[in-house]
Structure 1
């Protein structure tokens, strides 16, 4: 990227209407308001900013419990019992930004800096493949070393690695905003989703926590995914870092971002993330806006009701027990077997003994992929490594065409089962394998699949047992 590109004026007017959000947050919804919004949510329709506020401002615990129950129902109706699994892979922690909450910030002299070479990346990919991973989110700092060409080349390298029956089939990206031309370079490598988290949609707070560097430009970041869409990347992910400003404000900021993308590009974000501020090297957090576990649960439930067809990502920042509780509220994607130290996968670093001077933040769930997979299945969830939609062009508007009418059950459920079977055959412990095939047998028998799909799925499962791989609908 042109090092001065981020300093260019963004001519568009910010789509975050802070005055409107603050005024909405002062309203007190009536019982009639609450049940009117809940009835709309039951129909699977996206909620407006005002309707989302009604849910956010509802403080009665019985009504909150009703929201939780409906969020669970909607998640099961749209996504079934599937949970998509991925691993984060950090490629570099050099950074030119001064973010006050991040261990990677340029002023942190305690941080051990590293950028992976292509050979080192290859070692990481082999280690991830050996664990059974098929989907990655590759994470890059903000630094001239992480040019569009570097991102493109590292993605291509990831796709090139084959080991045994394993490979990485989809690489998503978490990196700095780019120019349209630079996004086009990255798109050449056939990435999946491009994530840019605004961190906070409250501009005065944004300025306080991003005092210097590229990230200090609020609008350059805010319109980053709009430029990605203009470059032809139609699968994007948004997020806010909860704890910088009022959590209800951030939810409505996310909703205004959803509306902006839908109004201008015909489709909203594929995913929304909601990480919380965590301990990090050289950082002291102001605890004024830190949120508790119940508030995190409310965020997840409200987002599931407000944007029913958008994936919700719960990361390993949260501890295992809380992740178990939150799975019931509408979460559709999680990371597993997470290692965020550079070269951590290939060197088998002990995830339970983090060195924060080599990592961005403290993680809460350090369990292995196999353990998380088995627990999900014991709790009735079907782990999925599916990448078929990306590879068959079912992204952006095309994805919504399939998902909104409920047709997604004819693709995602059988594809989840097929990718799970691959994992069970190639990587699972014996205990996990037994639990997995019990779940598959139950799922094929009781799911909403057509009889024709059930019959063909049984054939494909036998083919996987006979060493065929990468079968999908």
Structure 2
């Protein structure tokens, strides 16, 4: 069972594409970049060409192309969220992860619903509106019901100005019936990473537990979408295998979903392997990804799947995060903790992995705004049904910006008015004024109207 490949991941074709397009001429690279500028995506051969770029001048052209596509589609908007770890119980044996079953050097916790509510209160008081619920691949006695109860708890916490308006979920692969239950709780995106698409490597680093079943994991998004969850997220843990292979394998996964369901993933995450408690593999990646190659990965993905969100976590340093904003990143986590209960009480030892950016939310927002980016907490699309194919129908002709730009500004204004430090508020208010002044037409009219409503004391306004 474990040696049978998922039929939509064809390793031979990946190696053929890489071999056929190695050492491309500059003219071929320029041809691919010109194609990418049309914002209709790239095929496997095109992507293979871009992975071979090493010349500084060609790299600069790649990065410029990615920046142009990113700003054309997303503008200067960056969506913010926080991960919420509710449990580090796990039955798997993943060599790169501190949560693996045999690791005795961390304390195990499955938060009670009362404790989850307190964690949510901390996040709301910081200004967060989106969380990514994360759990190890094992649950307390309630089983999967524990996850469903936790989602209800998160949505149920309210205070004067805030509540969590969107819960995304990253939990173990589920059956189709369980995915239907997950959808019924009103989640946003279901997110799961294959970690590595290379079959041999996958089985070398997953030694026990249900996660060892490559196919069960690979086909999980099919089950999710069959259950009606049309916003899904994929990702690779870069460093486990050759990043060139992983990008092309991800492209095969994306095309498979597009062929079967008419729409690919809503987001792609790009985590790099980081040190984890009692994990030699995490500290010494088999295929380390340099900073320049990491920037290449982000830029290539932005050109290959232009309308898919790219998520950058706090695994990376503040410097690296800043550098990737211009290359395609559209969502970032901020003020993150990766251990259950971490927002109430610090416990680095029991974290899933080491963080590179430890700054609190307000400091991240101030930094992002000082660079000219709009920090967005908008959740309008998910609450108005603009998901899956409906979202793409608006995104591809560029119409989604008529909603995203005004909503991003109003949600940022809400943050500044209710949570921001004085210095952050000063920088942010100027950015909002300057941004609206540079807008025109319907987008400007909507932005001015929504921001004025927030100024008048209304929260949670959107179009």
User: Of residues 423, 427, 439 in structure 1, which corresponds to 2:415?
Assistant: 423
Cα distance in 2, alignment partners of residues 35 and 458 from structure 1: 41
Cα distance in 2, alignment partners of residues 240 and 11 from structure 1: 20
Cα distance in 1, alignment partners of residues 199 and 143 from structure 2: 27
1:142 to 2:137 alignment? yes
Structural RMSD (CA): 1.5
Query: After superposition, what is the alpha-carbon deviation per residue over 1:146-198, rounded to whole angstroms, capped at 9, x for unaligned?
Result: 74322221111111111111110000001110010011111111100000100
Match of 1:337 in 2: 335
**Residue pairs, 1:425-440, within 5 angstroms:** 425-440=417-432
Match of 2:455 in 1: 465
1:36 to 2:27 alignment? no
Cα distance in 2, alignment partners of residues 127 and 205 from structure 1: 39
Match of 2:62 in 1: 67
SS in 1 for 2:27: helix
Contact preservation (8 Å) 1:149, 1:185? no
Are residues 456 and 102 of structure 1, via their aligned partners in 2, closer, same or farther at CA, if it must alter by over 3 Å?
A: closer
1:411 to 2:400 alignment? no
**Residue pairs, 1:162-181, within 5 angstroms:** 162-181=158-177
Match of 1:18 in 2: 11
Contact preservation (8 Å) 2:82, 2:132? yes
SS in 1 for 2:131: strand
**Residue pairs, 1:249-398, within 5 angstroms:** 249-285=245-281, 286-347=284-345, 349=346, 355-356=348-349, 358-398=350-390
Cα distance, 1:453 vs. partner? Answer: 4.0
Match of 1:4 in 2: none
Between 201-210 and 147-156, the greater mean CA deviation after superposition: 147-156
Contact preservation (8 Å) 1:47, 1:305? yes
Are residues 12 and 226 of structure 1, via their aligned partners in 2, closer, same or farther at CA, if it must alter by over 3 Å?
A: farther
Cα distance in 2, alignment partners of residues 194 and 212 from structure 1: 24
Contact preservation (8 Å) 1:10, 1:220? no
Normalised by the size of structure 1, how large is the TM-score? 0.94
Deviating beyond 3 angstroms after TM superposition, the runs of 4 or more aligned structure 1 residues are 9-13
Match of 1:83 in 2: 78
Cα distance in 1, alignment partners of residues 443 and 249 from structure 2: 41
Cα distance, 1:341 vs. partner? Answer: 2.3
Cα distance in 2, alignment partners of residues 157 and 438 from structure 1: 37
Contact preservation (8 Å) 1:10, 1:219? no
Contact preservation (8 Å) 1:311, 1:331? yes
1:240 to 2:230 alignment? no
Cα distance in 2, alignment partners of residues 54 and 144 from structure 1: 44
1:98 to 2:96 alignment? no
Between 459-468 and 102-111, the greater mean CA deviation after superposition: 459-468
Contact preservation (8 Å) 1:149, 1:186? no
Match of 1:54 in 2: 49
User: Of residues 391, 405, 408 in structure 2, which corresponds to 1:399?
Assistant: 391
Normalised by the size of structure 2, how large is the TM-score? 0.96
Cα distance, 1:464 vs. partner? Answer: 1.1
Cα distance in 2, alignment partners of residues 389 and 10 from structure 1: 40
Contact preservation (8 Å) 2:5, 2:199? no
Count of residue pairs brought into register by the alignment: 458
Query: After superposition, what is the alpha-carbon deviation per residue over 1:299-352, rounded to whole angstroms, capped at 9, x for unaligned?
Result: 0000001010000011100111111112111110000111222212123x3xxx
SS in 2 for 1:425: helix
Contact preservation (8 Å) 2:179, 2:224? yes
